[in-house]
Amino acid sequence: MDKTDYRKFLRPEVISKLSGMELRARLVVEGFIAGLHRSPYHGFSVEFAEHRPYMPGDPLKNIDWKVFSRTDRYFVKEFEEETNLKAYLLIDTSGSMGYHSNGINKLEYASYLSAALSYLMLKQRDSVGLVLFDQKIQKYLPPKSTLSHLHVILTHLEQLQPSRSTNISETLHEMAERIKRRGLIILLSDLFDSPKSILSGLKHFRHRKHEVILFHILDPKERFFDFSQEAIFKDIETEREISTSPYQIGDEYRKSVRNWIERFTLECRQSMIDYVLLDTKVNFDEALFAYLSKRERLF
């Protein structure tokens, strides 16, 4: 693989558009960047803040070995200096994310969005972490605010491949328990899992005072089921197949999709979760700029 392939995520025209945008935290975050995010802290401090459990990917130098000697468990020190806005990009890499009908699959779409968001937040000196998951967490990159971290994130995005079935709620609950300081959680998924369990996981983050953005990514065929002839439909993750005529189930299918989307829209609004429905037929940069512009008007 060409080691420079990851640069495709940030084309010059995209960077040019992003240069005038911001992704500000709408809720209170534990940060110190004056004028960009509201912060419960006053002044600037590099004093020790707290311990948190070690997670794969954390630098070994940050482990508190004195605590380990007492508890036989690994903990990492965090300092006030590190408590600017921390954003976590959670990307669903399950098999269904590999579906496409128009040239770009949902996982690629999520990757482009994540690259642009990472660039935007690192440009404004926030920290960005990356979580890749299917049935469980497959990769965790702790949040960092250095520009060199962007290269690491883009490299992992370039290597993404759809995997197997998913368990979204398990990842959400696990991360909600592990992330101790309030920050920004961004989930990118087609949400092909139990709505009840997904919403439970998202509300877990809100219970812990995190701000949450949910990017619901769907292919137009999945939304409108505009197939024209009888076909065999195969579940990408379970490989189950059914043979049917679209005209026989189309109306009921579209009704179910509308109800599904309306449920997420309503319950996310009630929980102060930003729900953003995205269609892969719309260029990712256009969709992102439209969302950021709308978000800025709400401040």
Which residue has better confidence, 20 or 9? 9
Q: What is the mean pLDDT of the chain?
A: 83
- Rounded Cα distance, 195 and 268, in Å: 11
Distance CA 225, CA 214 (A): 23
Domain ranges for the chain: 5-31+83-297, 42-82
pLDDT score at 25: 63
Question: What band does 1 get if pLDDT is binned at 50, 70 and 90?
Answer: very low
Q: Which of 114-123, 264-273, 282-291 has the highest mean pLDDT?
A: 264-273
26: CB partners within 8 A, 6+ apart: 211, 274, 295, 298, 299
> What's the CA gap between 119 and 230, in Å, rounded?
44
Residue 6: band (very low, low, confident or very high) from pLDDT cuts 50, 70, 90: low
Q: What percent of the chain has pLDDT over 90?
A: 48
**φ, ψ at 233 (rounded to 5°):** -105, 130
The number of beta carbons lying within 10 Å of the beta carbon of residue 102 is 11
What local confidence, expressed as pLDDT, does residue 78 receive? 64
- pLDDT for residue 49: 55
Tokens of 134: 């299917």
Q: What's the rounded mean pLDDT across residues 235-259?
A: 79
pLDDT at 137 over 90: yes
Instruction: Provide the token pair at 202.
Output: 């998202």
pLDDT band at 33 (very low <50, low <70, confident <90, very high): very low
Residue 22 has pLDDT above 80, yes or no: no
Residue 5 confidence (pLDDT) above 70: no
Under 8 Å between Cβ of 132 and 159: no
| Structure-model confidence comparison of residues 61 and 184, the more confident one | 184
Confidence class for position 35, pLDDT limits 50, 70, 90:
very low
The residue type found at 84 is N
pLDDT higher than threshold 90 for residue 165: no
Residues 6+ positions from 66 with CB-CB distance below 8 Å: none
Burial of 247 (0-12, 13-18, 19+ CB in 10 A): exposed
Least confident stretch, 48-57, 82-91, 131-140:
48-57
Question: What is the distance between the terminal CA atoms of the chain, rounded to a whole angstrom?
Answer: 43
Q: What is the pLDDT of residue 231?
A: 66
Confidence of residue 147 (pLDDT cuts 50, 70, 90): confident
The residue among 147, 152, 40, 151 whose CA lies nearest residue 85 is 40
The pLDDT score that the predictor gives to residue 79 is 57
Q: Which of the pair, 239 or 106, is modelled with greater confidence?
A: 106
| pLDDT at 150 exceeding the cut of 70 | yes
Greater model confidence, 103 or 207: 207
Query: Which CATH code, of 3.40.50.410, 3.40.50.9100, 1.20.1250.20, 3.60.21.10, is assigned to 5-31+83-297?
Result: 3.40.50.410
